[in-house]
Amino acid sequence: MKYAFYPGCVSRGATPELFVATTEVCALLGIELEFEPMRGASCTGSGILQEKNQRLGDTLNARTFAMAEATGLPLLTICSTCQGVMSQANKRLKEDSDYLAEINADLAEEGLEYKGTADPRHLLWVLIEDVGLDRLKSLVVRPLNGFKVAPFYGCYIVRPTAALGFDDNPQRQDSLERVIEAVGAEVVDFPGKTLCCGFPILMINEANSVKMVADHTLDAKGRGADAMVTPCPLCHLNLDGFQPQAAAQSRTPIDLPILHLPQLLGLALGIDPRAMRLNRHIISTKKMLSQVALSP
């Protein structure tokens, strides 16, 4: 299994632990990541460029899709936001051939053309759809029995469903829960799992943003979660990075470790927590790791 790898800005910036954990885990899962040919791919626009100019965002994503097409490999993402923005752009490009032709005209000078065959998929989906949960289970060396994990998806990997292929792939609806169970852990369900983490308004209305962090983490914790796992590094930035503010603002200690999806997998696959930089989180994972009989 070989993929054109699109890591996104954040895994190469503020959450470097995601990048390394992904690399480690994919090696064990037999997923080969081709990053070199994708190095020149730009940011998806994250929904922000699209506010101002949707066509600009679509052009940048068409460029990325064309680069992936050129490798002949399927495109893999590790960020809910990248995934959603790409899926939405891809839907528009595939549905309107005139629009695609216009955009290809802008890509031509770089010698690129998007033929409309790309199908960007998040590692979360690839785990179920390509690797298979049975195979994942068979690779587990350290089942996380008794470990209670709350899923947190990130908006763009669950909405809008029309762009995300949920109709054809109903397993995507509860993919995170399936993966949590596959590694032996217990799912802590809570209504906030598909809601917003608050990150997009962090710079704009920090109080509201941080309240979202507090609401979700406290709710999950109240339902017995030992940790929360997310396939979105932006959610991670807020849920982990701003949890101290959330605790202060709500005057309640929280201390709920937030895991990137590959980190959860890595724990079950036997990867050294330090190799996945679990010691580099804002919220300490020490207690959690001792609970799963590991030390950081």
Partner 1 sequence: MDVTLNVKRFDPDVDQPAPYYQEYSLEVEDSSTVLDGLIKIREEIDGTLALRCSCRSAICGSCAMRINGQARLACNTKVADAVPNGNGAIVVEPPGNMPVVKDLVVDFKPFWDKIRAVEPWLQHMGTKPQHEHIVTNESMLDLAGVMDCIMCGACVSDCTVLEVDSNFLGPAALAKAYRFVADPRDSEHGWRLGELNEYGGVWDCTRCMQCVEVCPKDVDPMGRIMALRDKAMEAGYNRTYGARHAAAFTKHVEHSGRVDELRLPIESKGIFNIVEMLKLAPVGIRALLRGKMPPIIHKSNPGMDHVRRIFEKAEKRR
Q: Choose the stretch contacting partner 1; rule: CB under 8 A; options: 15-23, 68-76, 90-98, 256-264.
A: 15-23
Shortest separation between residue 148's beta carbon and partner 1, angstroms: 21
Please say which residue, 41 or 93, places its beta carbon nearer to partner 1.
41
Q: Kindly state whether residue 195 participates in binding partner 1, applying the rule CB under 8 A.
A: yes
Please say which residue, 63 or 122, places its beta carbon nearer to partner 1.
63
Please say which residue, 42 or 169, places its beta carbon nearer to partner 1.
42
Q: Kindly state whether residue 293 participates in binding partner 1, applying the rule CB under 8 A.
A: no
Q: Site for partner 1 (CB under 8 A): which residue of 97, 117, 171, 208?
A: 208
Q: Kindly state whether residue 178 participates in binding partner 1, applying the rule CB under 8 A.
A: no
- Binding mask of the shown chain, residues 34 to 63, with x at each position contacting partner 1 by CB under 8 A: -----xxxxx-xxxxxxxxx-xx--xx--x
Report 118-177 residues binding partner 1 (CB under 8 A).
155-156, 159-161
Q: Site for partner 1 (CB under 8 A): which residue of 4, 10, 79, 100?
A: 10
Q: Site for partner 1 (CB under 8 A): which residue of 3, 242, 263, 288?
A: 242
Q: Kindly state whether residue 109 participates in binding partner 1, applying the rule CB under 8 A.
A: yes
Contacts of residue 217, defined as CB under 8 A and 6 or more positions apart, other chains included, come to 228, 239, 243, 246, 254, 256, 258
Shortest separation between residue 84's beta carbon and partner 1, angstroms: 8
| 283, 158, 11, 77: CA torsion to nearest 10 | 150
Please say which residue, 12 or 135, places its beta carbon nearer to partner 1.
12
Shortest separation between residue 141's beta carbon and partner 1, angstroms: 27
Shortest separation between residue 190's beta carbon and partner 1, angstroms: 11
Q: Kindly state whether residue 198 participates in binding partner 1, applying the rule CB under 8 A.
A: yes
- Report the DSSP pairing between strands 2-6 and 227-230: unpaired
The site that binds partner 1 (CB under 8 A) totals a number of residues, namely 62
Kindly provide the b/e burial profile for residues 121-143, where b requires at least 16 CB atoms within 10 angstroms of the residue's own CB. Answer: bbbbbbbbebbebeebeebbebe
List contacts with partner 1 (CB under 8 A): 9-10, 12-17, 39-43, 45-53, 55-56, 59-60, 63, 84, 106-107, 109-110, 155-156, 159-161, 191, 195-196, 198-201, 203-209, 211-212, 215, 241-242, 244-245, 277, 280-282
